Structure 1
Amino acid sequence: MTAPQRLTDRKRESIVQAAIAEFRDNGFEVTSMDRIAARAEVSKRTVYNHFPSKEELFSEMLHRLWATSAAQADAAYRPGVALRDQLRELLDSKMKTLGDPNFIDLARVAIGATIHSPDRAQTWVNRLNEREETFTVWVRGAQQDGRLKAVEPGFAASQIHALLKAFAFWPQVTLNKPLLTAEEQVTVVNSALDLFLCWYEIPAACPA
């Protein structure tokens, strides 16, 4: 009973990967279920058995995008632990996701498919904001402990995300720039830490 299930799973995965490649190469509107089936080397009937529509396939890609972006370090604030150490863990985890070529491919496909549909775009933005709530939780905890300045937590969280994405997301997704090297990732994270804590930490600990 297990072998047929494994075969089904492999076919489903082939279909999803073919869809990602087709959407990336040709865009959402041009891509057809026939092209996906041909690329996955399965029948069109098999594609429809797994996904009733192209929209369902797109939803599966979004689900994977959210699942990948959610794989971050524990965002719980820890009293008594240096803010820099805690925030570095969060940023390193976020950078690991941003450095994953599969994540960048999925993000590129998602943006390309949503750019012509306000409804899709709004859903995508809302789901990304949900994933970034982890940083908001951490900022709120540090504020309640009197270690960060009073600011709307979501605003501060958006700022720290923007400091990373300006170098490790948007250039790769929109301009097809190469992923950052390990050394570049460290530089971006350290700079983000300095800027964020210099402004928000109490007392401010700006580097010399």
Structure 2
Amino acid sequence: MPTPPAPAVRPPAADPTTTGATRPRRDTRGTAARIRAAARRLFLEKGYEGTSMDAVAAAAPVSKRTLYQHFPGKADLFGAVIDEAWSHFTRAPLIPSEATGDARAVLRAYVARLTEHWARPDVIPLLRLVIAEAPRFPELSQAYFAAGKEPAVKGLAAYLAALLAEGRLPAGLDPQLMAAQFLGAIKEPLFWPRVLGVPVAFDATEAVERAIDGILGKA
């Protein structure tokens, strides 16, 4: 009998702890946060496939009814865990939307916030989990991309587009491609060694300055 397809993982559309157009009930007891914390521990210990909703309910601890009131399924719960891991980076005003001030200082500050994000204890372990389980559950990488990587690149691209519009970068460049290449120039020497558990072989300041030079030039 064929195995049914896994449900799509997606960032939470309406977390009961927030307010919105439908004004869902407030989570005054911190139940959703407790569930996410328990789920994160279990996902990292047992993997996505090895974590059941029953185990999350027991670890939280909450009733299964309460668990499903907050998160209708494991896919939603994993999306919420990923969204929370990225929220410390994506929810903050990371980079201006207008081309004001010293662009080099703006990009340095952006990278500083990004490296602070990498250092959070759950960020790299969750990425390793997504990479390990993606062949069986490709929707996990889709959730990771949608919750954090995509908005991070979009924000940087919007700033670079503003610099282009002000004539501060050469005309005709693609801001989205520039943003992706800039992040690649940062992450290849400084981030991926951490993911792989090997020493970083480059000076961080020099790597950042060279990456900024690639965008702004050496002037």
TM-score (norm 1): 0.74
Does the 8 A contact of 2:186 with 2:207 survive in 1? no
- The alpha carbon displacement at 1:160 in A equals 1.5
1:159 aligns with 2:172: no
Amino acid at match of 1:158: A
Does the 8 A contact of 2:160 with 2:179 survive in 1? yes
- The alpha carbon displacement at 1:189 in A equals 4.5
> Which residue number corresponds to residue 193 of structure 1?
209
Amino acid at match of 1:205: K
Does the 8 A contact of 2:36 with 2:81 survive in 1? yes
Q: Select which of 180, 205, 208 maps to 2:218.
A: 205
Runs of 5+ unmatched residues, structure 1: none
Higher helix share: 1
CA 1:189/1:111 → structure 2, altered by over 3 Å: closer, same or farther? farther
> Which residue number corresponds to residue 72 of structure 2?
52
Whole-angstrom CA distance in 2 between matches of 1:196 and 1:5: 43
Whole-angstrom CA distance in 1 between matches of 2:97 and 2:118: 21
> Which residue number corresponds to residue 117 of structure 1?
137
Amino acid at match of 2:176: G
Amino acid at match of 2:179: A
Q: Secondary structure of the residue that 1:42 maps to in structure 2?
A: coil
Whole-angstrom CA distance in 2 between matches of 1:68 and 1:110: 19
* CA-to-aligned-CA distance 1:111-148 (integer Å, 9 cap, x gap): 44444233443353344223311111121222222322
CA 1:91/1:114 → structure 2, altered by over 3 Å: closer, same or farther? same
Q: Secondary structure of the residue that 1:74 maps to in structure 2?
A: coil
- The alpha carbon displacement at 1:19 in A equals 0.8
- The alpha carbon displacement at 1:69 in A equals 3.1
TM-score (norm 2): 0.71
Q: Secondary structure of the residue that 2:51 maps to in structure 1?
A: coil
> Which residue number corresponds to residue 76 of structure 1?
97
Runs of 5+ unmatched residues, structure 2: 1-25
Bigger Cα displacement from structure 2, 67-76 vs 19-28: 67-76
RMSD: 3.0
Q: Secondary structure of the residue that 1:124 maps to in structure 2?
A: helix
Whole-angstrom CA distance in 2 between matches of 1:177 and 1:27: 23
Does the 8 A contact of 1:15 with 1:47 survive in 2? yes
